[in-house]
Structure 1
Amino acid sequence: MKKTLIVAAFAALFAGQAMAAPQTYELDPTHTFPRFSYDHMGMSKQILRFNKTTGTVVLDQEAKQAKVDVTIDMATIDTGFPMFDEHIQGADFLDTAQFPTATFKSTQVNFEGDKPVSIEGDLTIKGVTKPVTLTVTSFYKGPHPMLKKEAIGANATAIIKRTEFNAGKYAPGVGDEVTLDIALEAVAK
């Protein structure tokens, strides 16, 4: 009898671990938009975004582990004005002809309870890679109301210096500090 209880306890333990396997989520390109803002010569705060982002998030909420891998199509910069989009894509700023994408690859995701609160990783822009920590300001995990699949959503923010990524034309008149603000949604594969 005692042996049967021990076997049953181990079976339950391993069954619970199998249920806690990491889940891979694919970014929803219609609801994932990296935005950034900067000071424009002390006159205004400019807010721009990128329209095409791909990637995955692997989440094991019970183990408090996650991995984020994102690629941004830099040629999809959206200023609201096509001529300015071309200007920002030029060699003085994003140089999308030579560096068509930017990437973020997490190195550590930090949790409080079962929610991620910060994501440390390597941000690569114009071939320059720097460590960046994104602060997670909101997080959701649950069923997608329309797709009826498991989904996650988050918002995160960080501040970088564009001069550190060889995109510092007109700094400091045009602000060197850039605030990143990412809205992300992803659906279970």
Structure 2
Amino acid sequence: MRSLLLLPALLLGSALAAPVTYRVAPLDQVSIVMAENETDIENFTAVASKVSGTVIFDPAARTGSADLTVNGASLSTGVPLRDEHMRSADWFNFGKMPAITFKSTRVQYVSGDNYRVTGTLIMNGVMRTVTSTARVKLTPANDVTRASGITGDALAVSVVFNVKLGDFGVEHIAVQAGRVKDTLPVTIKLIASNR
């Protein structure tokens, strides 16, 4: 008899635990992609703030997926001439192919707010598989999220991928000379909302 009484609660609980689609908030500087170069010769951080796409997240099942696009033409290092060079065909070719896309193929819960994420990264017309650990944090809508311009619940995602430039067709003399590292940590930080 007791198990029959628990059945509606179990059914209701499983109905409430469902994947939710979150859209990247269209607010500049809330969602960004950063690539950091640190060498003995030159240090800079490149930031792109035009990030769009969706993240599907189910906090009860601890699963999800992501489909993201970054406009590489929005890249800024704080030096306009360097930005222009990095958008050129000699570097990332963002003038002709501005879209950088990432689509997850596997998301596996690790612990706490951490998930192991594997996916396909496409940049400069080249597709590669990348894997890293992402931090995913869900914040229910409240006065602070609304004051920040975020409607609905806020999903914060942060992940760092080590991207080998040579794998994406970037073989500039500055890389060969050691001014720019061939493998750069690329950080994606985004806020997405379910409304």
TM over 0.5: yes
CA distance in 2, matches of 1:73, 1:132: 19
Answer yes or no: is 1:9 the counterpart of 2:28. Answer: no
After TM superposition, give the deviation of residue 7 of structure 1 in Å.
Answer: 4.7
- Aligned residue for 1:80, secondary structure, equals coil
Answer yes or no: is 1:179 the counterpart of 2:185. Answer: yes
Query: In the alignment, what sits opposite 2:107?
Result: 109
Answer yes or no: is 1:34 the counterpart of 2:33. Answer: yes
- Aligned residue for 2:82, secondary structure, equals helix
Cα gap change, 1:182/1:128 in structure 2, threshold over 3 Å: closer, same or farther?
same
* Structure 1: gaps (5+ residues): none
Answer yes or no: is 1:168 the counterpart of 2:174. Answer: no
Aligned partners of 1:109 and 1:116 also within 8 Å: no
After TM superposition, give the deviation of residue 8 of structure 1 in Å.
Answer: 3.9
Cα gap change, 1:143/1:50 in structure 2, threshold over 3 Å: closer, same or farther?
same
TM normalised by structure 1 equals: 0.88
Instruction: Count matched residues.
Output: 184
The percentage of aligned residue pairs carrying the same residue is 27
- Aligned residue for 1:146, secondary structure, equals helix
CA distance in 2, matches of 1:103, 1:58: 16
After TM superposition, give the deviation of residue 167 of structure 1 in Å.
Answer: 1.6
After TM superposition, give the deviation of residue 106 of structure 1 in Å.
Answer: 0.6
After TM superposition, give the deviation of residue 18 of structure 1 in Å.
Answer: 0.8
CA distance in 2, matches of 1:26, 1:103: 15
CA distance in 2, matches of 1:101, 1:133: 20
| Per-residue CA distance 1:143-184 (angstroms, 9 max, x = gap) | 242326211113211211101001221223221011111211
* Structure 2: gaps (5+ residues): none
TM normalised by structure 2 equals: 0.86
Question: Per residue, is there more strand in 1 or in 2?
Answer: 1
1:154 to 129, 137, 157: 157
After TM superposition, give the deviation of residue 62 of structure 1 in Å.
Answer: 1.1
- The residue correspondences of 1:52-131 to structure 2 (distance < 5 A) are 52-113=50-111, 115-131=113-129
After TM superposition, give the deviation of residue 117 of structure 1 in Å.
Answer: 2.7
CA distance in 2, matches of 1:26, 1:8: 38
